[in-house]
Amino acid sequence: IKTTGQIETQPNQQAQVTAPIPGTVAKLLVKPGQRVKKGQAVAVISSLELIELRVESLDRLTEAKATLGEAEANLELARENLERQRQIAAAEIDEAETQLAVAQEEYDKDLALAIEGALARRQMLESKTKLAEAKTLLKRAFSRREVLEAEAELKRAQTAVKAAKSRVQLSDTTYKTRLEQLSNSANEQGKVTVLAPISGTVAQWQVSLGESFEDAGGQLMTIVNNNQVWATANIYEKDLYKVKIGQKVRLEVSSLPNQTFTGQVSQIDPIVAGQTRVVPVRVRLDNPGGQLKPGMFAQLKIFTDKTNVATLAIPQDALVDANGKQLVYVENGQNFYEPVELALGSTFGDLVEVKNGLFEGDQIVAQGGVMLYAQSLRGGSKADHHEHDHEHDQEGHNHQATSTNLNVASLPWWWVFPVGGVITAGAFMVGRRTASQSRPAPIEISDEPTNNNYHSTADVKANGQSNADGYLDSAIPNSFANKQ
């Protein structure tokens, strides 16, 4: 199947490099056409936002550190106060314990005397009261209020220090978070280095130095990787059944003459366009040298399934363009050749398919037909000109072509010989030949001197090997490998 298409970049091989933050373009580190690698620095953005975030972060950090210092000082005072209150409480406890011991001893002695009747009961009760007072004093010493208050103050100071430390840690959180969002590609001066997201070639700049962006996402440049490209072509619905994923495709571009590229069908769209009844087909092509550029128009030949239909083909050099008509000169009797108009089909290399006008076994002028055509326009040779019927039968059908006959024998030998003689238009069985089997068809040459002139003839047979010498053999290219 022959069609036209356009070279395109694969979607995942094209990337827009954008500014990750509002700012001003400070540097463009690469130029259009330059190759870059993924992760390579391509631009530098100066961001006022980052500078402001850093200043705010430093201010908060300074304030948080001051608060922390004050809290730590208060904590130290609370510790000292608690220690002092505990020392006072310890002294009071010691004194209360001493008084309690004395009161206990006096009460025990007075109680014994009172039991013996040696001491008045009233005096014994006074000793008992003193003992109770001593116990109360000791209990009060253990639960001294000042100590409890000092302990509470210490806890408050410790909490304040913890909160101050947390504020110090959080003072630059916003700034650090922004840096992480930028993949840590920013420095303290607010400069952000932009990295290439893919490997490829810088296609174009979208900015200039000093240009500013109010928002993130401003386009800086486009990077394209054309080591592998697509050729997108439209296939008519009626031919869609012939096209399959993986089929070989041969591609030519007019701007790259004498070059042929090969690829594979990689994607067939699932939807048929409503009005045009075509389906986009994408062909994957390796393009290591970058010769194929996106936007180029191309001629594609999709090699569909092989067929056993025979194809008649002749060298393109045998064709003569006569006012828009394609002619060849066919042998019609010894030393006489007449022009026959052809209906042509597909081309393959140096060969062209003949749909109508020739039959297998016809002998044609392989080269020099233009000279014969020029001679016919001048009225032919000095020999008589007459009309001949050129009839060919194939599958029960007749073809008749009437034209002026040229007597080659009347031409000088140096005119006739360079024509390259004649070859037979052969039918080639398409699909039977493989790459290892393809070879030029054999040529049988008979050289006959006629009227002191030299006349060469050649005969081409299908699927054989040439036994001719170099001149005529080079005029016969390989047959079609596949039906296109």
Q: How many residues does the chain have?
A: 484
- pLDDT of 478 over the 50 cut: no
* Alpha helices, DSSP H, located in 335-464: 369-377, 413-416
Q: Which of 316, 313, 311 is nearest to 327 (CA)?
A: 316
Say which amino acid occupies 5: G
pLDDT of residue 140: 72
The number of beta carbons lying within 10 Å of the beta carbon of residue 214 is 7
Query: Exposed e or buried b for every residue in 154-179, given b needs 16+ CB within 10 A?
Result: beebbebbeebbebbeebbeebeebb
Where do the domains of the chain lie, and which CATH numbers do they carry? 51-175 (1.10.287), 228-302 (2.40.30.170), 310-473 (2.40.420.20)
Q: Which residues contact 337 (CB under 8 A, 6 or more apart)?
A: 329, 330, 331, 365, 372, 405, 406, 408, 422
Query: Under a CB-based contact definition with an 8 Å cutoff, are residues 281 and 232 in contact?
Result: yes
* Model confidence pLDDT, tens digit, residues 310-369: 678 888 889 999 988 999 989 877 667 889 999 998 776 678 889 998 888 888 888 888
pLDDT tens, position by position, 200-220: 889 888 888 888 888 888 889
- Whether 33 and 201 have beta carbons less than 8 Å apart is answered as yes
Task: Note the pLDDT of residue 80.
Answer: 85
DSSP state for residue 29 in the 8-state scheme? -
Give the DSSP letter string of 275-291: TT-EEEEEEEEE-TT--
The 10 Å Cβ neighbour count of residue 135 is 14
Phi, psi torsion values for 161, nearest 5 degrees: -65, -45
Q: What is the C-alpha end-to-end distance of the chain, expressed in Å?
A: 5
- Per DSSP, the chain holds a count of helices (H) and strands (E) of 7, 28
> What secondary structure does DSSP assign to 79-128, as a single string?
HHHHHHHHHHHHHHHHHHHHHHHHHHHHHHHHHHHHHHTSS-HHHHHHHH
Write out pLDDT tens, residues 180-191: 777 767 787 888
pTM exceeds 0.75, yes or no: no
Can you say how many angstroms the Cα of residue 238 is from the centroid of all Cα atoms in its chain?
32
Q: What is the reported pLDDT for 5? A: 94
- Mark out the alpha helices in 117-199 (DSSP H runs): 121-142, 145-170, 173-181
Of residues 471 and 357, the one with the higher pLDDT is: 357
